[in-house]
């Protein structure tokens, strides 16, 4: 009982923190809805040396329609047989589990198209800004539609009204966790089957453009190979992605949907875009070193994620050759309705048993997977060092994103695990780099 009271106090604290400020209600939405796109287009325009096209045109419209149909078809034409985790709103979303096949099919198609029609890479690269402009218009209309149809009745509306969240904030954050349109889950469509696959396809197109216009370029192909392995890994593990913050914590609104429809296609691809416009020359040896180091980071990032996955599946598993150690099995109360609605906690009545792993990488720092992810991004940016700091833009962004994500995740874990999370933090004080941060 005392335990429960303590937990409820923690929850009240979190609720207090959630009271909207002017920044939350208006500042953050304006920043991300107006300022970020302006900066994005400015940077894309400043970086191009191959085209002055900026306004939407037929090519950009065709690209949008093709990608939407390709992604939608991959979800709709096959039975959606994968049940996602039960969400805070009580829904159990249905997903499509064919991510890796979808990735293979997409890569084969784009490579064949680039080999057969040599003009396609040039047409797409020189119209990249119009393509992103078109995605932007579509993204805004799409998120506007989601807001319009959901605004009168959605899970947690009373709480939002009580907290006096502005309409702008609700548009920005989103209303529903798992809306569906045309029989498919919106977040799987926008995040995986549009944004992530566009990333893959466009960097291959940039690489062909660079090859057809200037011959084989080590820097371009090294970064494309590293990013391709990374994206392939994402699709291999796509069903695991449904357990992450993007899916369980973020509602389908401007932040995540516009982010995946526009920001991801425009910015995650930026290193390759920049190198397609401003070729970087590095030696074959340097290319090999960066490639090997980048592959090592990918492997380590995978190993950290895998340790947690194995441990969650079987807490008696071995890690680094020894029986996994964890903060003693404990029961924390999971009380229906008691958690702040945005904490991403699955609501269940009664008690729930959980364990926090302290062996292996999870005993070195609390987010060692992010550390390796940052190392990898450093590698795929480093190939562009001879042409300046612009190719490192994504690296700067990913550091900011992951550090912010650490705090979001820790807020969630503190609410969920209470004093056991504090115990874990005491045992493993580092967030990213052991002994430093
Ligand atoms: P994590 O894989 O670090 O998952 C965090 C969750 O794991 C916590 O919320 C908690 O969830 C659980 N957890 C934390 N510590 C422990 C522990 N010691 N023992 C057991 N469970 C623990 O984060 P993400 O889901 O964000 O990242 C997954 C992958 O995606 C990573 O490889 C990351 O690098 C990558 N990524 C890439 C991004 C990009 O834009 N490029 C963005 C974000 C992630 P629970 O409630 O289940 O216990």
DSSP assigned state of 85:
P
Q: Which of 313, 355, 413 to mutate to test the pocket of ligand 1 (most atoms within 8 A of CB)?
A: 413
17, pLDDT greater than 70:
no
Query: What is the per-residue pLDDT for 332?
Result: 53
Q: Whose CA is nearest to atom 24 of ligand 1?
A: 244
Q: Is 432 contained in some domain?
A: no
User: For residues 18 and 156, what is the distance between their CA atoms, to the nearest angstrom?
Assistant: 14
Q: Which helix (H) or strand (E) holds 246?
A: helix 245-248
> Model confidence over 150-181: pLDDT tens digits?
999 999 999 999 999 999 999 999 999 999 99
Query: What is the per-residue pLDDT for 347?
Result: 41
Closest CA to 51 of 114, 132, 123, 140: 123
> Averaging pLDDT over each range in 8-12, 86-90, 282-286, 430-434, which range is the top one?
282-286
Query: What is the per-residue pLDDT for 334?
Result: 47
Query: What is the per-residue pLDDT for 86?
Result: 82
Query: What is the per-residue pLDDT for 420?
Result: 86
The whole-number average pLDDT for the span 407-427 is 87
Q: Whose CA is nearest to atom 45 of ligand 1?
A: 413
DSSP assigned state of 263:
I
Return the structure tokens found at 219: 């820097």
Q: Is 433 contained in some domain?
A: no
What does pLDDT average to over the chain? 89
Q: Whose CA is nearest to atom 43 of ligand 1?
A: 402
Answer yes or no: is the C-beta of 431 below 6 A from any ligand 1 atom.
no
DSSP assigned state of 93:
-
For the CA of 354, the nearest atom of ligand 1: 48
90 φ/ψ sector (left φ>0, alpha ψ -120 to 50, else beta): left
Q: How far is the CA of 89 from the centre of ligand 1 (A)?
A: 21
Q: How far is the CA of 50 from the centre of ligand 1 (A)?
A: 40
Per-residue pLDDT band at 352 (split at 50, 70, 90):
low
Query: What is the per-residue pLDDT for 344?
Result: 40
The whole-number average pLDDT for the span 363-388 is 96
Query: What is the per-residue pLDDT for 85?
Result: 85
Query: What is the per-residue pLDDT for 353?
Result: 64
What's the domain range around 412?
Answer: 2-427
239, pLDDT greater than 70:
yes
DSSP letters along 370-427, please?
HHHHHHHHHHHHHTTGGG-SGGGHHHHHHHHHHHHHHHHHHHHHHHHHTHHHHHHHHH
Closest CA to 140 of 55, 270, 29, 26: 29
> Model confidence over 320-338: pLDDT tens digits?
988 888 887 665 554 443 3
Q: How far is the CA of 345 from the centre of ligand 1 (A)?
A: 14
Answer yes or no: is the C-beta of 301 below 6 A from any ligand 1 atom.
yes
Q: How far is the CA of 159 from the centre of ligand 1 (A)?
A: 28
Q: Is 140 contained in some domain?
A: yes
Q: How far is the CA of 346 from the centre of ligand 1 (A)?
A: 16
For the CA of 234, the nearest atom of ligand 1: 30
376, pLDDT greater than 90:
yes
416, pLDDT greater than 50:
yes
How many domains would you assign to the chain? 1
User: For residues 302 and 297, what is the distance between their CA atoms, to the nearest angstrom?
Assistant: 8
DSSP assigned state of 435:
T
Q: Is 313 contained in some domain?
A: yes
What count of residues does the chain have?
A: 437
Higher pLDDT, 413 or 362: 362
188, pLDDT greater than 60:
yes
Q: Which helix (H) or strand (E) holds 355?
A: strand 351-357
209, pLDDT greater than 80:
yes
User: For residues 112 and 106, what is the distance between their CA atoms, to the nearest angstrom?
Assistant: 10
Q: How far is the CA of 366 from the centre of ligand 1 (A)?
A: 9
Query: What is the per-residue pLDDT for 335?
Result: 42
Q: Whose CA is nearest to atom 10 of ligand 1?
A: 413
Residue in the structure block whose two tokens are 């820790």: 410
Q: How far is the CA of 270 from the centre of ligand 1 (A)?
A: 25
Q: Is 401 contained in some domain?
A: yes
User: For residues 339 and 252, what is the distance between their CA atoms, to the nearest angstrom?
Assistant: 20
Helices and strands (H and E) in the chain: how many:
20, 8
Q: Which residues, 6 or more positions from 298, have their beta carbon under 8 angstroms from its beta carbon?
A: 226, 229, 230, 233, 372, 376
Q: Is 195 contained in some domain?
A: yes
For the CA of 366, the nearest atom of ligand 1: 15
Answer yes or no: is the C-beta of 250 below 6 A from any ligand 1 atom.
no
360, pLDDT greater than 80:
yes
Rounded to 5°, the CA angle 111-115-118 comes to 120
Q: How far is the CA of 301 from the centre of ligand 1 (A)?
A: 11
Return the structure tokens found at 109: 């198609």
């Amino acid at each position: 009982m005392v335990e429960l009271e303590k937990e409820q106090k923690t929850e009240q604290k979190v609720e207090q923190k959630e009271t909207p400020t002017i920044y939350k209600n208006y500042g953050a939405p304006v920043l991300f809805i107006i300022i970020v796109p302006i900066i994005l287009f400015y940077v894309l325009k400043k970086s191009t040396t191959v085209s002055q096209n900026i306004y939407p045109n037929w090519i950009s419209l065709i690209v949008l329609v093709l990608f939407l149909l390709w992604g939608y078809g991959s979800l709709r034409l096959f039975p959606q047989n994968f049940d996602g985790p039960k969400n805070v709103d009580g829904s159990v979303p249905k997903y499509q589990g064919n991510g890796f096949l979808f990735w293979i099919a997409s890569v084969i198609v784009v490579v064949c198209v680039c080999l057969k029609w040599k003009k396609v890479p040039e047409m797409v690269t020189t119209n990249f800004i119009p393509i992103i402009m078109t995605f932007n218009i579509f993204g805004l209309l799409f998120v506007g539609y989601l807001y319009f149809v959901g605004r009168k009745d959605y899970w947690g509306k009373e709480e939002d009204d009580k907290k006096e969240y502005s309409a702008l904030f609700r548009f920005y954050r989103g209303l529903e966790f798992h809306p569906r349109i045309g029989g498919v889950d919106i977040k799987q469509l926008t995040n995986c089957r549009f944004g992530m696959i566009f990333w893959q396809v466009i960097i291959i197109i940039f690489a062909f453009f660079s090859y057809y216009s200037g011959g084989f370029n080590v820097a371009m192909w090294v970064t494309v190979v590293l990013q391709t392995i990374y994206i392939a890994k994402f699709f291999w593990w796509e069903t695991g992605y449904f357990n992450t913050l993007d899916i369980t914590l973020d509602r389908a609104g401007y932040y995540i949907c516009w982010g995946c429809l526009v920001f991801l296609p425009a910015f995650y691809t930026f290193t390759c875009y920049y190198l397609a416009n401003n070729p970087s020359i590095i030696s074959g040896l340097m290319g090999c070193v960066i490639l090997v180091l980048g592959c090592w980071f990918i492997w380590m990032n995978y190993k950290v994620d895998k340790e947690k996955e194995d441990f969650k599946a079987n807490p008696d598993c071995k890690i680094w050759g020894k029986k996994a150690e964890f903060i003693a099995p404990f029961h924390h109360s999971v009380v229906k309705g008691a958690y702040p609605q945005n904490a991403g906690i699955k609501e269940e009545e009664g008690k729930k048993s959980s364990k926090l792993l302290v062996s292996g990488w999870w005993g070195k720092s609390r987010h060692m997977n992010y550390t390796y992810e940052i190392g990898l991004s450093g590698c795929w940016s480093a190939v562009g060092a001879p042409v300046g700091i612009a190719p490192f833009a994504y690296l700067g962004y990913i550091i900011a994103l992951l550090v912010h994500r650490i705090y979001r995740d820790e807020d969630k874990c503190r609410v969920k695990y209470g004093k056991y999370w504090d115990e874990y933090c005491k045992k493993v004080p580092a967030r990213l780099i052991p002994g430093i941060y």
